[in-house]
Amino acid sequence: MNIGIDNIDRKLSQEQKDFKELIVISCMNDIDLYNSNAIRFARKYIPQKAIDYYLPPNMVFDREVYQIILDRMIHNYHVMKSLRFEIQYAKDRGREPDPTDLEQLKVGENLGF
């Protein structure tokens, strides 16, 4: 039985597929292509408040700096998703969520995530 990458891809959500594509593009080391796809990903999945925090309107960045900012924003978006999952998992199991996770989530929510 051959479990290929296509079988795995069918189980991914559209967001996960878009993120996987973004990772592949980042490995190609094409900054302009990465930046255009990263901003498309951000506009589709990341709340506008968080985008405005990381990329204030009327600010101009060098393309390498822009790449770093986009990468950091997308990373923090996934960290917040993980924290929400961990907190919900603890609650579902009847346990108290980790106070550090709750504090990090609060900070992330203040940034718009």
Sign of CA dihedral 22, 35, 47, 98: positive
* Residue 72 reports pLDDT greater than 50: yes
Contact 86, 97 (CB under 8 A): yes
40-65 pLDDT, tens digit per residue, is 888 888 898 988 888 888 877 888 88
Domain that holds residue 27: 5-110
Q: How many structural domains comprise the chain?
A: 1
Span 33-44, average pLDDT: 87
Q: Is 94 exposed, middle or buried (0-12, 13-18, 19+ CB in 10 A)?
A: exposed
Contact 87, 105 (CB under 8 A): yes
pLDDT-derived band at 101, boundaries 50, 70, 90: very high
